[in-house]
């Protein structure tokens, strides 16, 4: 694979992971009714599921080394 293709896959995967974390946090806050433990659980499950999907999608292209820092 070319470096450009791998870098694009990493950038897209990182952007989607960031959007997932932010979106799941907002979703959890709105749906939990003030229950912090439930919000944390919902955020964790949604983020974990999205991360698995991203790794399965981009793993063969770039190795799926998503690093938002």
Question: What burial letters (b/e) apply to 5-17, b meaning 16+ CB within 10 Å?
Answer: eeeebbebbbebb
pLDDT of residue 60: 87
For tokens 């292209």, name the residue.
61
DSSP the chain: --HHHHHHHHHHHHHHHHHHHHHHHHHHHHHSTT-HHHHHHHHHHHHHHHHHHHHHHHHHHH-------
For tokens 């919902």, name the residue.
42
pTM: 0.80
Q: What is the pLDDT of residues 20-64, one digit of tens each?
A: 999 999 998 898 888 999 999 999 999 999 999 998 998 888 877
């Amino acid at each position: 694979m070319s470096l450009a293709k791998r870098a694009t896959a990493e950038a897209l995967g990182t952007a989607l992971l960031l959007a997932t974390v932010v979106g799941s946090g907002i979703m959890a806050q709105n749906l939990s009714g003030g229950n912090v433990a439930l919000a944390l659980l919902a955020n964790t499950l949604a983020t974990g599921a999205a991360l698995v999907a991203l790794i399965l999608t981009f793993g063969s292209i770039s190795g799926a080394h998503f690093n938002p820092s």
